[in-house]
Amino acid sequence: MGSPLLKGQKKTKKAASKGKDSVSEELLGIYAKGFESSPNSMMIVAYKDGEPHIQHTNTSFTKYYGYTEKEVVGKNPSLLKSDLLDVNYYRKMWRAVLDPEVGYWHDEIVNKRKNGSLIHVILFINTLFDHNKKPIYFIANHTDISKRKEMEEALRQSEDRFKSISASANDAIIIIDNDGNVTLWNKAAERIFGYSKEEMMGRYLHDILVPQRYHEIFKKGFDAFKISGKGPIINKAIELVALKKDGREFPIELSLSALQIKGQWNAIGIVRDITERKEFEEKLKKSNEELKEISDRKSAFVANVSHEFKNPLIIIRETMTIILDGLLGEINEKQKDFLEKGKKTVDRLMRLVLNLLDIAKIESGKVELHKKKTDMASLSHDILESHKPSLAKKQIFIKTDIDDKTTPVWIDPDRITEVITNLMDNAIKYTPVNGHVFMKLSETPSEIRFEISNSGTEIDEKDFGKIFDKFERITSEREEGTGLGLSIAKDIVELHHGSIWIENERGKGNRFIFVLPKDPNK
C-alpha cells in the first residue's frame, strides 16, 4: 500500500519546486514498505485548519493500541491520550512540532489503548512543512517500552524494599565496591561502629574498621576476591574483631557475600555485634568450669567414702559367713536368722557402694572398657542361668528368643553383663508372682539388639525421660535397691556408642531395649 503522505509529499514538491526531479515511484514504494513493516507503531497525521487528523496508520499501530486504521482515520490523535500528563505538557509539545525552527519532539509518555489499558512508549514526532513553512503532516513513531518500564518498576520496588530492610535491620549492612570503598552504610552500621553514613561513604573500609595487625591478611584476601568473587569466607558466618570509631576493639559476626555490579565484584557484609554473646559465653564457660570442679570434687568424695566403706563391709560380710558356716562353733536358729538378715543388709550396702564407685568412675571419665570379641548369645544364656533361682522363687515363667547365630561383637563383656543383670534384676523385682519375663536377642546388619520385658505394671510414658536418672524411683512400691542400676546401665551402653530406651503397651508390661553397634570402630 502506498502512503498517502508520500503521495501528498510528491504533489507538494511538484508544486513547490518546478523543474526539479520528483521523487521516483520506486523510492516512494520503498518508503511505503518500510512504513508498513516497521515493528514500531507508525502514524501519519495531517494538519489542516489548525487541527490534526489521523490519515494513515501501519499494522503495528493496531497491535499497539487495538484500533484498526478504519476506526481512527480522520480522528484527532488525542484519542490516545492517557490523561496522566497535564495540559501544559501537550502545549509545550505542540509549540515544538509547529515551530519550523524545531519541528521535532522526543520523549517517553504513557498512552491509552482502545481497551483502556496503558502503554509506555518512546514518542518521536517529525513535522513536514510546505514551501511557506506551514506544517502539513506529522509522522509519529511510537516504540513500546512497557516491558522495560515493568522491569524498572520491579527494580525500583526491589531497591525500595532493600532500603527499607537495610534501614530497619538490627545488623549492620555494608557494601563495598571493587576498590574496597563503602557504597552502602545503614543505620545499624552507624550505631554499631559509631561512624555516620556521611563519614563512611566512599572511604576504604579495611583501613578504618580492621585492626592494624590484620591489614595484610585482609588485603591479600580482598585482592583475590576482586578478581573472582570467591574466597574462603564467602557465604560463611565467621567471628572477627573490629574497631569502633573511638578505637576500641569488639567482637563481631560477619556474613559475607559476593555481588556483581556492572561486571565488577562487590562485597556485601552483614555484621552483628556479639559483645554480649561473648560475655555470656565467657560467664557460661566459667560457670561450667566451676560446676565441673564441684562435680569432680563430689565424685572424688563419693569414691573416697565408698572405698572407706567397701573394705570394712567385706570384713563384716566374711565374718558373718564364717559364723553362719559354723567355723567358730554351733549357733542356734535364732542367731542364724539374725546373722542372715544382717548379711543381706551388708550385701545391699555392698551393692550401693559398688554402684557409687561405678557412678564416680563414669562421671570422672575414668572408666576403661576392656573390649574383646564376645558371643552375646552365650553371654545372655549365662546371665539367664544365674537368675533361675530368683525366677523360681517368685514362680516367674521365663520365655526366650535368643538367636544363637548372632554375630560376635567387640564389647567389654563384664560391663555388658552388668547392664543385662541390672535389667534382669529390675524385671524380676517388678514382676508379680506367677508373672512372666521375656528375653530376646536379635541383630540387624549394623546392630545387636537386646530386649527384656515383663508382665508388671506399665510405667507411665511421661516418666520415660526420668527412668534412667540417678536415684530416681518411678513406682511407689517399697522395693530394695539404690535407684542407680538403670542409670549405670545407660552410661555403660552409651560408652559402647549404643543406645537404651523403654517401650510399653497397655496390658503388656514394660520392655527395655538396648542396641550396640557391630562396627568395632564406633
Q: Sketch out the chain's domains with CATH numbers.
A: 4-144 (3.30.450.20), 151-273 (3.30.450.20), 278-364 (1.10.287), 372-517 (3.30.565.10)
Query: What is the residue-wise DSSP string for 340-384?
Result: HHHHHHHHHHHHHHHHHHHHHHHHHT------EEE-HHHHHHHHH
Chain segment 29-58, per-residue pLDDT in tens: 787 888 888 999 999 999 998 999 999 999
167 or 369: which carries more pLDDT confidence? Answer: 369
410-434: average pLDDT: 91
Q: What is the pLDDT of residue 498?
A: 94
Question: How large a percentage of the chain has pLDDT more than 90?
Answer: 55
Residue 129 has which C-alpha cell?
512543512
Distances (CA, A) of 96 to 9, 26, 124, 133, 317: 21, 33, 12, 14, 121
389-417: average pLDDT: 92
Chain segment 171-191, per-residue pLDDT in tens: 999 999 999 999 999 999 999
Chain segment 449-501, per-residue pLDDT in tens: 999 999 877 888 888 878 887 756 665 454 555 567 888 899 899 999 999 99
Give the SS3 label for residue 229.
Answer: coil
Give the lowest-confidence range in 22-26, 222-226, 486-490. Answer: 22-26
Q: What is the pLDDT of residue 6?
A: 44
Residue 200, CB half-sphere, CA atoms under 13 Å: how many? 28
Structural element, H or E, at residue 93: helix 87-98
307 or 117: which carries more pLDDT confidence? Answer: 117
Q: How far is Cα 102 from Cα 510, in angstroms, rounded to an integer?
A: 100
Contact assessment for residue 418 and residue 489, using Cβ atoms and an 8 Å cutoff: yes
Judge whether residue 4 has pLDDT over 60. Answer: no
330 or 376: which carries more pLDDT confidence? Answer: 376
Q: How far is Cα 369 from Cα 358, in angstroms, rounded to an integer?
A: 13
What phi and psi, each to the nearest 5 degrees, are found at residue 441?
-130, 125
The one-letter amino acid code at 173 reads: I
Judge whether residue 1 has pLDDT over 50. Answer: no
Q: What is the pLDDT of residue 471?
A: 57
pLDDT band for position 400 (cuts 50, 70, 90): very high
CA-based end-to-end distance of the chain: 88
Judge whether residue 342 has pLDDT over 60. Answer: yes
Question: How large a percentage of the chain has pLDDT more than 70?
Answer: 88
Chain segment 125-164, per-residue pLDDT in tens: 999 999 999 999 999 999 999 898 888 888 888 777 777 7
Which residue has 512543512 as its cell numbers? Answer: 129
Report the candidate in 81, 98, 83 with the shortest Cα–Cα distance to residue 142.
81
Which residue has 489548525 as its cell numbers? Answer: 50
Q: What is the pLDDT of residue 24?
A: 66
Chain segment 312-325, per-residue pLDDT in tens: 878 888 888 888 88
Chain segment 266-284, per-residue pLDDT in tens: 999 999 999 999 999 999 9
Q: What is the pLDDT of residue 520?
A: 67
Residue 366 has which C-alpha cell?
575414668
Report the candidate in 410, 494, 391, 393 with the shortest Cα–Cα distance to residue 452.
391
pLDDT band for position 362 (cuts 50, 70, 90): confident
Q: What is the pLDDT of residue 327?
A: 84
pLDDT band for position 17 (cuts 50, 70, 90): very low
Q: What is the pLDDT of residue 155?
A: 80
Q: What is the pLDDT of residue 5?
A: 46
pLDDT band for position 350 (cuts 50, 70, 90): confident
Residue 370, CB half-sphere, CA atoms under 13 Å: how many? 4
Phi and psi based region of residue 93 (left: phi greater than 0; alpha: psi -120 to 50; beta: remaining): alpha
Judge whether residue 507 has pLDDT over 80. Answer: no
pLDDT band for position 11 (cuts 50, 70, 90): very low
The dihedral through the CA atoms of 319, 320, 325, 326 has a sign that is positive
Q: What is the pLDDT of residue 344?
A: 79
Q: What is the pLDDT of residue 45?
A: 95
Enter the pTM of the model.
0.44
